[in-house]
Amino acid sequence: MTSAPAVRCVRLTKRLPSGAEMLTILDGVDLEILTGESVAILGPSGSGKSTLLGLMAGLDRPSDGEVWIAGARIDRMSEDELSLLRRRQIGFVFQSFQLLANLTALENVLLPLELTGVRGARARATELLREVGLGDRTHHYPAQLSGGEQQRVALARAFAPEPSILFADEPTGNLDGATGASILGLLASLRETRGTTLILVTHDGEVARAAQRRVHLRGGRVERVEATA
């Protein structure tokens, strides 16, 4: 028997109010992502990429349709259940890094570990920061770090609790080309050594090429799916 897919979307629909009317952002998306797979979600702005990511990660709620993660239906979970799900299984990397400004690099990485109360959190966080190349900057505050460095801290934070699925929302969107490439390389190597499922949202075809599958969105629908041979 095959194990359940990492993520499964069934007729996933999201409508938002826009003035007096309802605007359909996502329109009946069906998608299945296997465990350990890396998938890029591509599309022009406004195609519903980030919305799809938010729904799959349980950050947002669909207007219609279903979302399943590791065999559990999440779209009807309570806020608390969703929190626990994210804490145990999901990691995030964002375009704007989303580090807490009043915490040092190390403390930012520690935050999710403190939440689960794992042993040796500090050693693990320090090791991860070393792995992303910031071993000597653990006590710097985000404002004292460059954009690329901040995103490395974000990567370390995302991998620290060892999630089974990592969601990345335009992880290189705020970085220059070279820095972006090194972040992508780092992301790939961290993922491969841990076998993490990766779901990456980007509008950049270059970035998407690294993924095993590419899902193209347009107007809230899946336009086509292509797989790397």
Partner 1 sequence: MKARAAIAFALRESRGARGRLMFFAACLALGVAAIVGVAALIGAIGDGIRSRSRELLGADVSIQARRELPAELDERIAALATSGPARRTDSRELTTMARNPRSGESELVELTGVGAGYPLYGAVQLDPPGVLDDLGDERAAVGPELLHELGIALGERFQLGDAEFTASAVVLDEPGRLGAAFQAGPRVFTSLAGLDRTGLLGFGSRVRYRALVQVPLAMSPAAVDAWAARLEKELPGAEYLNVETASEAQPTIRRSLQRIERYLALAALLSLVLGGVGVAQIVRAWVATRTQAVAVMRALGFRPREVLFLFATHVALLAAVASLAGAVAGTFLPFLLPALAPELLPRGIELAWEPWSIVRGTLLGVAIALAFAIPPLTAVWRVAPARVLRAEVEPLPAPRLVTWGAFAFVALGVLASAWVQAGSFLLALAFTGGVAVAAGLLALGAFGLTRLADLLPRAKLPVWLVHGTSALARPGAGTRGAVVALGLGVLVVAATALIEQQLSYRLRTALPADAPTVFLLDVQPDQWAGVEAVLQRHGADNVRAVPVVTARLTSIDDVDVGRLAATRGDGQLDRPRWVLTREQRLTWMRELPPDNQLVEGALWSDPATAEVSLEQDFAADLGARIGSVLRFDVQGVPVELTVTSIRTVEWESFSINFFLVAEPGALDAAPHALLGAARIDAEAEQPFQNELARTFANVTPIRVRTVLEKVMDVLGKLAVGVRMLGGFTIVVGLLILAGVASAGAVHRAREVALLKALGVRRITIAGLFATEFGLMGLVSGLVGGVAAAVLAWVFLDRIAEAGGPFAWWAPVVAALATAILAAACGLLASARALSARPIETLRG
Helices and strands in the chain: count of H runs, count of E runs: 7, 10
> Measured between alpha carbons, how far apart are the two ends of the chain, in Å?
25
**Which structure tokens are listed for 154?**
């974000």
Stretch that binds partner 1, among 93-101, 125-133, 180-188, 209-217 (CB under 8 A): 93-101
Give the list of residues 6+ apart from residue 84 with CB closer than 8 angstroms, or none: none
Beta-carbon count within 10 A of 208 CB: 21
CA dihedral (31, 201, 208, 217) positive or negative = positive
60 binds partner 1 (CB under 8 A): yes
Map residues 156-175 to x or -, x wherever contact with partner 1 holds by CB under 8 A.
Answer: -x---x-------x------
Please select the residue that binds partner 1; options are 80, 136, 178, 195, rule is CB under 8 A: 80
Residue 151, CB half-sphere, CA atoms under 13 Å: how many? 24
Q: How far is the CB of 227 from partner 1 (least distance, A)?
A: 26
Stretch that binds partner 1, among 64-72, 107-115, 130-138, 171-179 (CB under 8 A): 107-115
86 binds partner 1 (CB under 8 A): yes
Please select the residue that binds partner 1; options are 92, 151, 214, 222, rule is CB under 8 A: 92
Please select the residue that binds partner 1; options are 1, 45, 117, 136, rule is CB under 8 A: 117
Beta-carbon count within 10 A of 192 CB: 12
Q: How far is the CB of 148 from partner 1 (least distance, A)?
A: 19
DSSP 34: -
79 binds partner 1 (CB under 8 A): yes
102 binds partner 1 (CB under 8 A): yes
* CA separation for the pair 127, 11 (Å, rounded): 42
94 binds partner 1 (CB under 8 A): yes
Q: How far is the CB of 37 from partner 1 (least distance, A)?
A: 22
Strand, coil or helix: what is 59?
coil
Residues near partner 1, by CB under 8 A? 50-51, 53-54, 57, 59-60, 79-80, 82-88, 90, 92, 94, 98-103, 107, 111-112, 114-115, 117, 157, 161, 169
